[in-house]
A and B are shown apart, each in its own frame.
Chain A
């Protein structure tokens, strides 16, 4: 029993469906295209300035002589100190919330708190760091102040990803350990933490790579934009890769824009290495485990 009218309508509907899928596909590949354009543009602009001299010179008023040595070392110092503070505190907090916290009101409150903190703009953390670390603690514009500020910024991220890694460890392992007469902490220390370690590490690397790219909080606490020395202690002034890039990009001259591009290439390379490490860790750990 043919319904010609209905057949026609179905054809039109099918065409809409095809158009819709095509549009979806187009927009999605647009994202890939954008990424490609961005990387190409940056590389093309900056590649001319990338050489050994660039990596080993200090910034200068003269573009040909300028380099990112101080920024590289500053980032190194900053990231190391940030890791030093944020990793123990973050993982400890995650352990508490997952293993000892229970479901009481306090734990729920801390939970919501952390979720909110994760969404606070990074510049607000900079304002916090300015008031507390730079002024109140009198740390001035030191690497230490920067590291403490950055630690607060990435702490929620570390806590959330560590909690997920801990939660993924099967309950049966905990039960086995407890039944053998282990205390809850012994169970965590000898079984839960080692099992969750790859996941925690992956999360840590991703959190730190986020910290490396952040600029606004560092500007707020006074990271300098023209630094011709390498920090030798946590109380020294400093600059960092994103700050240097920002500084060069803010200048009107084209050469400095190209220097900024070169700096970006270095920054992206650093991030690429870190993310690759995270992916490798994740893959290797999934090979030899029971879950």
Chain B
């Protein structure tokens, strides 16, 4: 194997190297195949659906009774239900998550941080069905104690629990955003005599604003896609209402309900799975793309 004074041999193709590289590429391309698959599957059944039901009726109708006569396919009640749960969850998660992030990144001593950060990670790792159970067996009875008119299935319990679920996400992303703000900005404010409150609220958070807002959007998108907690706790009654103590139905809960039933493939009821799924996918995709782009630009500014 002595390479001293030997001439360069002619190049030979390394087939194994190229084959391995090819295999790795195929695996990477699978992700694109998945996206294409999702879009194709959703689009084709949705297209069939809209051959029977006009788009206008779907998007703006206020009665959703695909399984009961007379059938009606207005999706607004489902959007209403999702909206109630998501707004409620945001009301829980955003203030708590943001202040937790502020506390963790600006004030908390390391010892406290080492307890709190893992706690948040654990909260994030708890399966959603557990949260659904918690909503049904703890939050709802609690609410009924405070406000007796609360129904057994209601939007509020689900909201609270979904809020707890997305709280770690808000806290973690906001924490990242706040930490990305350069120290020099804070020190400049302190040097001018600002208190910690003023520095945080008037200098740091505004500087991190786009990152913070993007984290809110991502958390809301996650709340929209949440399924098990709302299925167990929010109910199966699609209706137009603003009363969070009533039973409602979200888009995701509807999809679950239909799947648990015996709907034959090819029927229009079966196609509603894909139509509602498309709507859900489209909304969350738009939110995620915008939020991710904002986050990427935010990181570029500070790094």
A–B proximity contact (CB within 8 A):
yes
Say if the beta carbon of B242 comes within 8 Å of chain A: no
Per-residue contact bits, chain A 8-46, to B (CB 8 Å; 1 contact, 0 not) = 000001101101110111011111101101100110010
Q: Which residues of B contact A19 (CB under 8 A)?
A: 197
Say if the beta carbon of B129 comes within 8 Å of chain A: yes
Say if the beta carbon of A277 comes within 8 Å of chain B: no
Question: Are A257 and B137 in touch, CB under 8 angstroms?
Answer: yes
Question: Are B30 and A20 in touch, CB under 8 angstroms?
Answer: no
Question: Are B197 and A93 in touch, CB under 8 angstroms?
Answer: no
Q: Which of B61-69, B180-188, B224-232 sits within the interface?
A: B224-232
- A250 nearest in chain B by CB position: B232
Q: Which residues of A contact B222 (CB under 8 A)?
A: 119, 121
* Contact residues, B34-60 vs A (CB, 8 A): 34-35, 37-38, 41-42, 45
Say if the beta carbon of B91 comes within 8 Å of chain A: no
Q: Which residues of B contact A45 (CB under 8 A)?
A: 137
Q: How far is the CB of B75 from chain A (nearest CB, A)?
A: 16
Q: Which residues of A contact B227 (CB under 8 A)?
A: 121-123, 215-216
Q: How far is the CB of A42 from chain B (nearest CB, A)?
A: 7
Say if the beta carbon of B200 comes within 8 Å of chain A: yes
Q: Which of A59-67, A110-118, A194-202, A229-237 sits within the interface?
A: A110-118
Q: How far is the CB of B161 from chain A (nearest CB, A)?
A: 9
Choice from B37, B120, B218 contacting A31 with Cβ under 8 Å: B120
Question: Are A242 and B232 in touch, CB under 8 angstroms?
Answer: no
Question: Are A92 and B24 in touch, CB under 8 angstroms?
Answer: yes
Q: How far apart are the CA atoms of A110 and B31 in the complex, in Å? A: 7
Q: How far is the CB of B292 from chain A (nearest CB, A)?
A: 6
Q: Which residues of A contact B206 (CB under 8 A)?
A: none
Choice from B129, B136, B225 contacting A121 with Cβ under 8 Å: B225
Question: Are B265 and A31 in touch, CB under 8 angstroms?
Answer: no
Per-residue contact bits, chain B 216-254, to A (CB 8 Å; 1 contact, 0 not) = 001001101111100110000000000000000000100
* Contact residues, B158-200 vs A (CB, 8 A): 164, 167-168, 171, 195-198, 200
Question: Are A249 and B129 in touch, CB under 8 angstroms?
Answer: yes
Q: Which of A50-58, A152-160, A166-174, A283-291 sits within the interface?
A: A152-160
Question: Are B17 and A185 in touch, CB under 8 angstroms?
Answer: yes
* Contact residues, A212-232 vs B (CB, 8 A): 212-216, 219-220, 222, 225
How many A-B residue contacts, CB cutoff 8 Å?
Answer: 247
Q: How far apart are the CA atoms of A135 and B274 in the complex, in Å? A: 14
Question: Are A120 and B17 in touch, CB under 8 angstroms?
Answer: no
Q: Which residues of B contact A184 (CB under 8 A)?
A: 17
Which of B25, B133, B252 has the most CB atoms of chain A within a 10 A radius of its CB?
B133
Q: Which residues of A contact B265 (CB under 8 A)?
A: 135
Question: Are B31 and A155 in touch, CB under 8 angstroms?
Answer: yes
Choice from A95, A110, A116, A219 contacting B260 with Cβ under 8 Å: A219
Per-residue contact bits, chain B 21-34, to A (CB 8 Å; 1 contact, 0 not) = 10111011111101
Contact A95 to B255, CB < 8 A, known contacts A27-B99, A250-B232: no
Say if the beta carbon of A268 comes within 8 Å of chain B: yes
Question: Are B25 and A128 in touch, CB under 8 angstroms?
Answer: no
Question: Are B102 and A31 in touch, CB under 8 angstroms?
Answer: no
- B293 nearest in chain A by CB position: A112
Question: Are B128 and A215 in touch, CB under 8 angstroms?
Answer: yes
Question: Are B197 and A17 in touch, CB under 8 angstroms?
Answer: yes
Per-residue contact bits, chain B 123-137, to A (CB 8 Å; 1 contact, 0 not) = 101111110111011
10 further A-B pairs in the complex, CB-CB below 8 A; given A25-B103, A121-B227, A264-B129: A41-B137, A89-B30, A96-B24, A96-B27, A120-B285, A124-B225, A132-B37, A216-B227, A242-B127, A249-B137
Q: List 16 A-B contacts (CB under 8 A).
A: A27-B96, A28-B100, A28-B104, A32-B115, A89-B27, A92-B27, A96-B25, A121-B284, A125-B38, A185-B20, A216-B228, A219-B259, A249-B129, A250-B232, A261-B133, A271-B125
Q: Which chain B residues have a beta carbon within 8 Å of chain A's beta carbons?
A: 14, 16-17, 20-21, 23-25, 27-32, 34-35, 37-38, 41-42, 45, 95-96, 99-100, 102-104, 107-108, 115-116, 119-120, 122-123, 125-130, 132-134, 136-138, 164, 167-168, 171, 195-198, 200-201, 218, 221-222, 224-228, 231-232, 252, 255-256, 259-260, 265, 273-274, 277, 280-281, 284-285, 288-289, 292
